[in-house]
């Protein structure tokens, strides 16, 4: 009984000492913190097999000063291993398409390993393919980025544009 009171007292005394959050353990600048917040990931699974892993970063919310024309993304895609060779790991050769709110991309540019845009992506590895993808401006505040293949399925990653404009409160006619 005495031990439990000592343990509870110790928990109460030391429990309120923490002033650090998760980002305090890492040295990140503001752009990288926003990039971590904007990272979305999903997978296309067919018959309990992962066919593709899809991650994206919405650049307009990450760095609005540089990305304000159109809707800009960095996309990373991993396709399942197959015996067809290295080139089939590319987006177009696998029959996958990207769309944003139902509209096709205006630009899909592969990113090299040393491209500065790729450095914003919080997750880096050698087996993913990275792309800079640009779409025409979308007037809606919610965005649905879809990776789709007719044979394997699709995955949708959802975003909200910043800043969200909220309507002004309506004046009540009741007195």
Residue 92 lies inside a defined structural domain of this protein = yes
What's residue 17's pLDDT? 58
Residue 59 lies inside a defined structural domain of this protein = yes
Q: What DSSP string runs through the chain?
A: -HHHHHHHHHHHHHHT-----GGGGS---HHHHHHHHHEEEEEEEETTEEEEEEEEEEHHHH-TTT--SSEEEEEEEEE---SS-GGGGSTGGGT-EEEETTEE-SEEEE--TT-GGGGG-S---SSSEEEEEEE----SSEEEEEEEETTTEEEEEEEE-SSPPPPPPPPPS--
| Residue 95 pLDDT grade (very low, low, confident, very high; cuts 50, 70, 90) | confident
Domain, as residue range, for 95: 26-160
Residue 7 lies inside a defined structural domain of this protein = no
pTM (predicted TM-score): 0.72
Residue 86 lies inside a defined structural domain of this protein = yes
Work out the average pLDDT over 6-12. Answer: 69
Most confident range (mean pLDDT) of 3-7, 60-64, 152-156 is 152-156
| Residue 10 pLDDT grade (very low, low, confident, very high; cuts 50, 70, 90) | low
The percentage of the chain sitting over the pLDDT mark of 90, rounded to a whole number, equals 24
Q: What DSSP string runs through 30-64?
A: HHHHHHHHHEEEEEEEETTEEEEEEEEEEHHHH-T
The pLDDT tens digits of the residues spanning 22-66 come to 656 656 667 667 777 888 989 988 888 888 889 999 988 888 888
Residue 46 lies inside a defined structural domain of this protein = yes
The least confident of 64-68, 90-94, 139-143, 170-174 is 170-174
Angle in degrees, CA 27, 76, 61, rounded to 5: 55
The pLDDT tens digits of the residues spanning 99-135 come to 999 999 999 999 988 888 888 888 788 888 899 999 9
Domain count, the chain: 1
Other CB atoms within a 10 A radius of the CB of residue 137 amount to 9
Distance CA(91)–CA(18), nearest Å, equals: 45
Residue 4 lies inside a defined structural domain of this protein = no
Distance CA(114)–CA(155), nearest Å, equals: 28
DSSP-assigned beta bridge partners for residue 134:
72, 107
Residue 94 lies inside a defined structural domain of this protein = yes
Residue 3 lies inside a defined structural domain of this protein = no
Longest dimension (CA), the chain: 74
Of 104, 56, 51, 58, nearest to 78 (Cα)?
51
Residue that has been written with the tokens 């913190």 in this structure = 33
pLDDT averaged over every residue in the chain: 78
């Amino acid at each position: 009984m005495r031990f439990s009171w000592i343990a509870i007292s110790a928990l109460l005394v030391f429990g309120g000492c923490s002033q650090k959050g998760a980002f305090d353990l890492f040295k990140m600048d503001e752009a990288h913190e926003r990039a971590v917040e904007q990272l979305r990931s999903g997978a296309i699974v067919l018959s309990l097999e992962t066919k593709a892993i899809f991650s994206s970063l919405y650049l307009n919310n990450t760095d609005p000063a540089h990305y304000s024309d159109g809707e800009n993304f960095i996309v990373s895609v991993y396709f399942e291993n197959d015996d067809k060779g290295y080139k089939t790991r590319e987006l177009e050769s696998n029959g996958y398409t990207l769309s944003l709110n139902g509209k096709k991309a205006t630009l899909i540019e592969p990113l090299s390993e040393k491209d500065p845009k790729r450095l914003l992506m919080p997750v880096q590895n050698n087996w993913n393919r990275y792309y800079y993808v640009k779409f025409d401006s979308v007037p809606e505040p919610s965005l649905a980025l879809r990776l789709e293949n007719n044979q394997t399925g699709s995955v949708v990653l959802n975003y909200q544009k910043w800043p969200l404009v909220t309507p002004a409160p309506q004046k009540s006619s009741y007195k």
